[in-house]
Amino acid sequence: MERHDCWLIHNAAMERILFDGNRPAHPAAHPALAERTVTVGSASKELRLIGWRVGWVVGPSRIISDVALVGMTNVVCQVGIAQQAVAAALDASDADEDVAAATRVWEQRRNIVMQQLDGYPLVRPHGGWSLLLDTAALGLAPGEASERLFRHGRVAATPMTGWGPRGERYLRLVFANEPADRLGDLRERFRTAFG
């Protein structure tokens, strides 16, 4: 990175939503990366404030003033009440336990989905609240798989087409808000959709 004068942009929006006992590993903690890492955080995912669009950027002072200038001229400024609410949520005495509790729920849901869809070509997530299905391994395009799941299995899933060159073969299943009992018949829904 140093030889090419590159920066590392670390998306920290879900950095604490980790499964299987994994812990966050922040790139700026590495001495060779500390002065070249820009961290972008968001309350939307870890704090479950989807749609609030309140976030932050942290990095070396030599670049942060430029980031702030770009941010002020290219994004909508959040209202003060949202900024204050996020600051209070981050500073709350139970903030870490709140994220940990939500992570435990998402990990349980991940485990149910993995169990229900055992044998399907899934990409096992090590954190977050979604996973990918390799539709190419099923002989289907992501859009076709999504349509079949919705029409026949009553499962909404997002084709990853347009999300980068590797997205052309994946379908995203989000389990962020699915109660565990609603995931219990996922295998049957997939059978109905895919035979």
Question: Does position 183 have pLDDT exceeding 70, yes or no?
Answer: yes
**Average pLDDT of the chain, as a whole number:** 89
Band of pLDDT at residue 132, cut at 50, 70 and 90: very high
Residue-wise pLDDT tens digits, 27-51? 999 988 999 999 998 888 888 877 7
- DSSP 3-state of 131: strand
Q: Is 120 helix (H, G, I), strand (E, B) or coil?
A: coil
pTM comes to 0.82
Residues β-bridged to residue 57: 40
DSSP of 66-117, one letter per residue? HHHHHHHHHSPPPPHHHHHHHHHHHHSTTHHHHHHHHHHHHHHHHHHHHHHT
By mean pLDDT, which of 34-38, 77-81, 120-124 is the weakest? 77-81
Average of pLDDT values for 11-18? 89
Model pLDDT, residue 96: 87
**CA separation (Å) from 44 to 34, 83, 107, 116, 175?**
25, 12, 18, 28, 16
Sign of CA dihedral 141, 113, 24, 52: positive
